[in-house]
Amino acid sequence: MPRKLEYTIFDYIYWRGDRSFDEVPFNNVDSLVLTTLSYIYYQDIDDRAGTESGITLRELTDRFEADPKNYSLRHRNDEELLLLAGNSKRYGDVTVTRHVDLLDKEAEIQFSAELFLIDKNTGYICYRGTDPTLTALKEDLNLAFEVVPAQQLALSYLNVIGRSFKGRIYVGGHSKGGNMAVYASANCDQKVFDKILKVYNMDGPGFDASVIEKETFDRVGPKLVTYLPKSSIVGMMLEPYGGETFVIDSFGISIGQHEPFRWKVTTDDFVYLNELDGPSHYVKATLDKWLSEVPVEERKEFVEAMDAIMSASQAEKTGDVVPGLIKNFMSVTKVLRSMDDSTRKAVIKSLGKLFAAAGSSIPSIFRNESDH
């Protein structure tokens, strides 16, 4: 039966899967495919993914197909993507090496990265975005007031791999992975930076100006490209630094467009739009106003309070937070009561400013919409 074309990365692999990188050079859609593949838990399938010699996507796919029920995946589409890519001429010989995966609940660290060897002279250092764990969500919230451990690990990873790799490298990631790619590339050793061909930020959040100097990112601008779905929310958080930014047409509504399986592609590139839509501008205006009015220390208190409430839910994954809050209502109430007056007031004050910012941003969005 002919496949219905929806113009996603699945269709791209059908179109280009039988062409090697020698025949059709590496392009922007290939970057999205690899950053999406970074969500696979490779060492669960085969430990060789963590070694220097690595394992090809074709071999990993064979291992997975032999016993698919034995492996957990982040998204229902991850399995189809792995099988489609691993069985293709284009990606089958791409080697997964140096895969690391760290999850530390106490330290609130979620970090994962790998080096995809496109050929012996070209590598792609890819950082995984936020996975479904509560630890990952907590670390994301911390981006509002500090440099997080995952960013520091991303920098160390790039320096270690970049120093030993003899060829040229791409650096990239989706969601938080894009943020880490930018942070690591902006701060890496000069000799490593000189090996970087391009830095791909796929709808990753920016950086808070109060904790990171903009000047730090000046050198990465010429190599940095950011891609945002038309209703971007995650990519609108905090401040972007440098580079070119492109808006991609996508399926779905609002935050659902953050998922890379919903981005529209052509045979060799994305389907581009001239600008983001109204809701995306609204999110940006709201967050910018809130961040400008809430001091860093107050943000920290707010995030720590949210962390405590989410922990009281006893949830392990983000999707379990709301049911957990209801189920463990007494524990949540206990956490709220245990907060001292100053913390409780800070949280209420921060929430009030957020709601006020959301309300005041609505008129500006209507003005922007009416200008078209």
CB 25 within 8 A of CB 195: no
The total domain count for the chain is 2
pLDDT of residue 69: 84
Beta strand spans in the chain (E): 55-56, 95-104, 109-119, 122-127, 168-174, 196-202, 224-229, 244-248, 272-273
pLDDT band at 289 (very low <50, low <70, confident <90, very high): low
pTM: 0.79
Q: How many residues does the chain have?
A: 372
pLDDT tens, position by position, 175-200: 889 999 999 999 999 999 999 999 99
Q: How many other C-beta atoms can be found within 10 angstroms of the C-beta atom of residue 277? A: 17
Give yes or no: residues 115 and 239 share one domain.
yes
Give yes or no: residues 113 and 198 share one domain.
yes
CA atoms in the 13 A half-sphere facing the CB of 237: 17
Q: Mean pLDDT throughout 339-360?
A: 53
CB 277 within 8 A of CB 252: no
Give yes or no: residues 360 and 244 share one domain.
no
CB 151 within 8 A of CB 180: yes
pLDDT band at 71 (very low <50, low <70, confident <90, very high): confident
Distance CA 310, CA 75 (A): 22
The radius of gyration of the chain's CA atoms, rounded to the nearest angstrom, is: 21
Give yes or no: residues 263 and 346 share one domain.
no
> 133 or 257, which is more confident?
257
pLDDT band at 6 (very low <50, low <70, confident <90, very high): low
Q: Which of 247, 276, 305 is the last residue of a domain?
A: 276
Q: For the purposes of burial, counting CB atoms within 10 Å of the CB of 340, is it exposed (0-12), middle (13-18) or buried (19 or more)?
A: exposed
Residue 43 lies in a domain: yes
pLDDT of residue 368: 47
Sheet containing 95-104: which strands, arranged edge to edge? 55-56, 95-104, 109-119, 122-127, 168-174, 196-202, 224-229, 244-248, 272-273
DSSP letter (8 states) at residue 243: S
Give yes or no: residues 321 and 217 share one domain.
no
What residue has token string 């490779």?
42
Helix 296-312 crosses helix 341-370 at what angle (to 10 degrees)? 100
Give yes or no: residues 84 and 48 share one domain.
yes
E strand or H helix that includes residue 149:
helix 149-164
pLDDT tens, position by position, 141-181: 666 667 888 899 999 999 999 999 999 999 999 988 999 99
Torsions phi, psi for 144 (to 5 deg): -70, -15
Give yes or no: residues 62 and 123 share one domain.
yes
3-class SS of residue 221: helix
pLDDT at position 343 over 70:
no
3-class SS of residue 282: helix
Range of the domain at 132: 9-276
pLDDT at position 240 over 80:
no
pLDDT of residue 310: 47
Q: Which of 276, 297, 329 is the last residue of a domain?
A: 276
Give yes or no: residues 291 and 212 share one domain.
no
Nearest to 93 by CA among 38, 164, 27, 21: 21
pLDDT of residue 226: 93
